[in-house]
Structure 1
């Protein structure tokens, strides 16, 4: 099982991004690209190589399954982005929101997570000013 930690999130995130502008242009022609809006800077879209997202699908799944129960349909239905810094056991797996964002973006790009509050204009009204997400896979 792929442990939910900064090293694994960083490794998978880096591998799923485009390696160069040339690679992006080539993949764009073939339809092998996917963009997800950044959570921390909603004016930015993050591009992923769809074949590499698919290659890491199981590892992404394993890491998402380690999030707190509140993120799952049958337990809480979704939770704040801020709660994704903790694992199921309540321990912090990271102290950085950038790492949490990377995990969530991987979840969204692989369609294993869903944004419950997609309209960024309402985020400032939510607790902590961050969106709510749900993990869309069975535990």
Structure 2
């Protein structure tokens, strides 16, 4: 029984199977277990416990990641939610619902261009004031 294969993570599958088969044959004998077999059983049970705890942690992380992805995929507002229970999309009622959802979405979005224009106008005013103060200072220096 090779104890070195238990130190590798993960242990090689075929070598582990061969060592386990040898252990099973030792267990089936009527004689008491030899010292290498006893050591092997202690280490293999420890390795199994370690692997089980790692698997439990990985399963928990996987479930958490899947829940996070599902939460990201779910829509909470918009046309898809408004039209969720409707099956016929060619009626006037459905068209009105879709238009209303689009209007609500457009109203909630901030107008980035208006904000940028306001910043540009403010910057131009400050720039003009700075130029005026510089030119008035230079005029008074000449006199």
TM-score bracket for this pair, using the shorter chain length: under 0.3
Higher helix share: 2
Which has the bigger relative contact order, CA under 8 A and spacing at least 6? 1
Higher strand share: 1
The structure with the larger Rg is: 2
The normalised TM-score by structure 2 is: 0.23
The normalised TM-score by structure 1 is: 0.24
